[in-house]
Copies of this chain bind each other. A is one copy, B any other.
Amino acid sequence: VVVSNRGPISFAVDDSGALTTRRGGGGLVSTFGSALYGTGAMWFAGALSDADRLAAAKGAVDAEGYRVELLALDPDLYRGYYDVICNGTLWFVHHGLWDVPRRPRFDRHWWPAWDDYESVNRAFAERVAADAPDDAVVLVHDYHLCLVAGHLRDARPDLTVVHFHHTPFAGPDAMRLLPDRVGRRLLEGLAAHDACGFHDPRWRSAFQASCEAADVTAPTTFVAPAAVDVNSIEAVARSNDCAGALARLEAEVGDRMLIVRVDRMELSKNILRGFLAFDELLELHPDVRGRVVFGAFVYPSREGLAEYQAYRLEIENLVARVNARWATSDWTPILFEPDDDFPRSIAALRRYDVLLVNPVRDGLNLVAKEGAIINERDGVLALSRESGVAGELGGLALGVHPFDVSGTAEVLHRALTMSPADRVAHAAALRAASTARAPIDWFNDQLEAAERR
């Protein structure tokens, strides 16, 4: 049994008024890859759209290899749970994104949303308790659903419940930002699981330290970095859509070197400092002017939150400024692509000379692995030490300190001027490390954690 906020399929209503399904967006279903396919797994998820709610009313659906049950939740309740608590609070605390003199504010508007979070978690738990098979292993995913296991403990002691936390985890100093009883509820909710998993040892240590500081007995923990589904991504890379996107990209870039980033326009991704570092690279290294393009394949995210709207505006202004400063009649330094076009992003990953992954903090970052796997030019990875994937790839990549703009500019220059022989060795080592694990390994790590119960 899998439980997550976003399910593996989403529904739409076609022209004839009939419900159709398609594979859902978001990382979790692609991270499970084919591991769950055909296992008869049940997947409990929230109904995110009107069509989803229509489907939810009809009960469980067999589709895409899973048996899916969508929970229809009151939209107002869902908004408090999802926008205010999940995206506006828990995401911020685990990634350390708050402008502390101003945010967070736990005020009369916030507290009812916390009650919504409690209610949604309880609703998930009640549905799982009602419908999960006897003695099932239940894999609960991510910060949205920290309180499910606590409710299940009493109702269904036969179940084994494992949590996997996809984001970084806040250490004790960061957890102190949350109201005491909220922080304690979250930690106790996680501790009610038979085991809790994380992508990186740093996040596990932070969780343990936060438990210790709050006098909560930590549960069994495990570290299991997620992996790329190589077959699936290679299928996209071989697609006609991707070939067309690559041809268009080649026409734009020509024989110049290409730095690429592929990210949501997300506060934690450090997009501004990436462009500032590129600006500093062009200023301090005249040799690369006119010879390099920075392709930013960044797609909109969480546009309902004011912080994200402001961030996008700042990004666009900075791109305009850097381009205005350096562009020539035949060279635009930054190629800014703010559309969610997956084949085009994959084309960019095939073509890059340097892949910049510089988040201020990131649970894992699969783009770093995807790039290493499908890049066709022995490209160089410039990787933030604050990404979870630095645990697997950090020793092989060029390390980036995400706040050090000057240092990042120097890393980009080193990457652009690396010798062909060094690039071959660098890319081969990254490719090997990025394929060392498969989605089935990640899935099995969770099952093994359940078996150690």
Contacts and interface: CB of A to CB of B under 8 A. Distances in A.
Contact of A404 (B101, B106, B171): B106
A284 to B, nearest CB: 7
Contact of A270 (B101, B179, B404): B101
A444 to B, nearest CB: 32
A14 interface: no
A299 interface: no
B101 A311 contact: yes
**Stoichiometry, copies per complex:** 2
Contacts of A401: 106, 179-180
Interface string A69-101: 000000000000000000000000000111111
A143 to B, nearest CB: 18
A107 B276 contact: yes
B280 A107 contact: yes
Nearest to A177: B403
A405 B109 CA distance: 10
A108 B272 contact: no
A217 to B, nearest CB: 22
A48 interface: no
A97 B177 CA distance: 12
Interface in A279-327: 280, 283-284, 311, 314
Most interface-central of A100, A101, A273, A284 (chain B CB within 10 A): A101
A200 interface: no
A268 interface: yes
Q: Which 3 A-B pairs have the closest CB atoms?
A: A99-B99, A107-B405, A101-B267
Interface of A: 96-102, 104-108, 110-111, 171, 173-174, 176-180, 206, 267-268, 270, 272-273, 276, 280, 283-284, 311, 314, 360, 386, 401, 403-407
Given A97-B100, A107-B405, A173-B206, 20 more contacts: A99-B100, A101-B268, A101-B270, A101-B272, A101-B311, A102-B272, A105-B276, A105-B403, A106-B403, A106-B405, A107-B276, A107-B406, A108-B284, A171-B171, A171-B173, A173-B174, A178-B403, A179-B404, A179-B407, A180-B401
